Amino acid sequence: MEKVYNNNNNNTYKSDWHIQNQETLVNLAGLLVSLAIIPLVTNNPILTLSLFFLFTILHLFANYKAVRSVVMETFNEARLSIVLQQYLKDKQVLTPQEANQREPVFFEFTKMMPVKLGVRLQEIVQSPEELQLALKKNNMPFLMGVRNGRVCVCLGPEASVHDEIRAMCQAAWISSTLSSHTQQGKQGHWETVHESHTLMDTIFSPFLKGVEAAGWDTKRTLLDWDEWRVEWKSKRN
């Protein structure tokens, strides 16, 4: 579980001190409860098993509530997709607390086309013609395409954090669109990629201003980018 603290050094020290004190009290309470229960469960397997399952359920529930209470102000793929889909639906920008509450704790069962970030160039284009298709309507420092049932994004070395957020927004939109239109061929995939460039040219600037105003940290992300960075040149007549 990841946590981000925006406190200064003194506040961080105080937070750590409080956490350590809480852990000490919890351990002490656990020791006292154990000493009280041991005489009761000795030579009583039914009670032992009953208490084991009870405490296991309570432990899992407490951990679930603890995870749910964490509010991350940086984007990962799930949170960014949730915020983007809500914005496309009604132009409302979710706050970090609202988006974190909607983020699934367990596996999501919705069937979506997977997204792979930071791939090699050949995972997107395998011919000069495909490179020209990837560059069409695209003036951004990244390329994207659909290959082997995945939305792939190739990042240039000069891409900024905002470029990474935009690339993930486009990839999430392509994934959502193609997941509901599974019968499209390769040409249809490229048309969807081109539509995503046009869409983001229109909405991304106001969307970015909206998420910053809502309290999101856009100076860094938790997006799962691979290490590949690629330079390419477009063909000029």
Confidence of residue 237 (pLDDT cuts 50, 70, 90): very low
Which residues, in sequence order, are CB contacts of 198 under 8 Å at separation 6+?
A: 137
Give the model's pLDDT for residue 150. Answer: 93
Give the model's pLDDT for residue 234. Answer: 63
The number of folded domains in the chain is 2
151, 189 Cβ separation under 8 angstroms: no
> How many whole angstroms separate alpha carbon 159 and alpha carbon 1?
28
Domain shared by 45 and 154, yes or no: no
Domain shared by 59 and 81, yes or no: no
Look up residue 229 and give its two tokens: 């960075």
Domain shared by 82 and 55, yes or no: no
Which residues, in sequence order, are CB contacts of 121 under 8 Å at separation 6+?
A: 143, 154, 230, 232
Domain assignment present for 230: no
What confidence tens digit (pLDDT) does each residue in 113-138 have? Answer: 899 999 999 999 999 999 999 999 99
Domain shared by 51 and 111, yes or no: no
Confidence of residue 108 (pLDDT cuts 50, 70, 90): low
Range of the domain at 36: 9-69
Domain shared by 105 and 134, yes or no: yes
Question: Average pLDDT, stretch 201-207?
Answer: 96
146, 185 Cβ separation under 8 angstroms: no
Domain assignment present for 223: no
- End-to-end CA gap in the chain: 52
Give the model's pLDDT for residue 68. Answer: 85
Which residues, in sequence order, are CB contacts of 205 under 8 Å at separation 6+?
A: none
196, 88 Cβ separation under 8 angstroms: no
Domain shared by 82 and 197, yes or no: yes
pLDDT higher at 127 or 38: 127
Give the model's pLDDT for residue 155. Answer: 94
